[in-house]
Amino acid sequence: MSNLFFYGTLRHAPLLELVLGRPASDIDATPAVLQDHAVHAVREQAFPMILKAPGEQAEGILVRGLSEEDIARLEFYEGGFDYDLETRWVDLPDGTRAEAEVFYPEAGLWQPGDRWSLEAWAEQWGELTLLAAEEVMAYCGRVDAKRIARSFPAIRMRAWARIAARSRVTGDARDVSRDVIVHDRRHAYVDYFGMDEIDLQYRQHDGSMGPVLRRNGLMTGQAVIVLPYDPVRDTVLLIEQFRAPVYLIGDPEPWMWEAVAGMIDPGETPETTAHREAMEEAHIELKGLEYAGGAYSSCGSSTEYDHLYVGLADLSRTVNNGGVDREGEDIRSHILPFAEFMQWVEDHRIKSLQLLSLAHWLARHRDRLRGQG
């Protein structure tokens, strides 16, 4: 049996319950302090790190009596963050000390930020972290921690999308808690995308419950698609990049003409993502955004929800080296007069459904936007 000292997110009882797989009432936890240490936020991340800091104290909890299975589950979860266990002594409220293991980050991997607050973290990131952890722990014992570490940014992106999806209410009177019966749901596959399987029944239009059906869905995040438009020059900017799924299906032209697009990172708004992606992929600064609607990209197979925009910009140059290197992107941009762009649409040269939707939206609103320019 082992004792561990937790100074960060695992002090949050719902998260500790989820990772260990049992309720808080079955966990022997008590407040504790690690002397000569301080807990800091990790820059550009939603979790903390611990640092040696003479004269300071790191508050946390001591969890006693952890089994080998508990340790394996904790190492699986923390392994996605590149943390290792080290032994330290902690002080308890009754004045005694106890030996415990502590998760320390790999040296030089993260950059510390300001002092970290559990309460502030829980308010901003608690819900997202629990959703992400639920998916992570579903794969414990099925895949190794390195694979989870590689997939973790996408897992958090999916969790952010799940939170956003809860607010998409249009007035449908049906109640999913009553009209959908879930018999089983499984996380079947994880990588950049996830795949979930579900056995369910749903209420049919005649009021009866239908048969038990097995369905699956490609689990992904929210995306932003923005078509840059110059109302003064009456031009649009398209990007071209290789798309593996188009190649996988056997299409002989897997280099696709598209609008600027990208996934919404946790904490971002669609508008923030639109501006970021325009700069990353096309090296342009958007002067304004026109919302062109939002919808699921393929509601029978994927959870991806797309936010569509036309972005007003000064389109005077193109680039051949857009994208983010670490994501393997190789993007070039191309500026087209509006009339030529619409001829591409008429000639069926555009294979991106989102770009087609934006082309038709722009055709309807072009006169108004040109008047503003």
Domains of the chain, by residue range, sit at: 2-145, 169-219, 222-372
The count of other CB atoms within 10 Å of the CB of residue 262 is 22
Three-state secondary-structure class, residue 206: coil
| 285 known member of a binding site | no
Q: Give the tokens for residue 122.
A: 């829980």
DSSP string, 117-183: -HHHHHHHHHHHHHHHHHHHHHTBTTB-HHHHHHHHHHHHHHHHHHHHHTT--------HHHHEEEE
Question: The domain 2-145: what is its CATH number?
Answer: 3.10.490.10
Each residue's pLDDT, cut to its tens digit, for the chain (373 residues) gives 789 999 999 999 999 999 999 999 999 999 999 999 999 999 988 889 999 999 999 999 999 999 999 999 998 988 766 677 889 999 999 999 999 999 888 777 789 999 999 999 999 999 999 999 999 999 999 998 888 988 999 999 999 999 999 999 988 889 999 999 999 999 999 999 999 999 999 999 999 999 999 999 999 999 999 999 999 999 999 999 999 999 999 999 999 999 999 999 999 999 999 999 999 999 999 999 999 999 999 999 999 999 999 999 999 888 777 766 666 678 999 999 999 999 999 999 999 999 999 999 999 999 999 987 5
Q: Are strands 260-263 and 222-230 parallel, antiparallel or unpaired?
A: antiparallel
Three-state secondary-structure class, residue 47: coil
| 134 known member of a binding site | no
| 261 known member of a binding site | yes
| 78 known member of a binding site | no
* Residue carrying the six token digits 């999916």: 158
Rg, the chain, Cα only: 25
222-372: CATH architecture: Alpha-Beta Complex (3.90)
38, amino acid identity:
A
The catalytic residue positions are 327
Q: Give the tokens for residue 133.
A: 């952890």
Three-state secondary-structure class, residue 79: helix
Query: CA 218 to CA 196: how far, in whole Å?
Result: 7
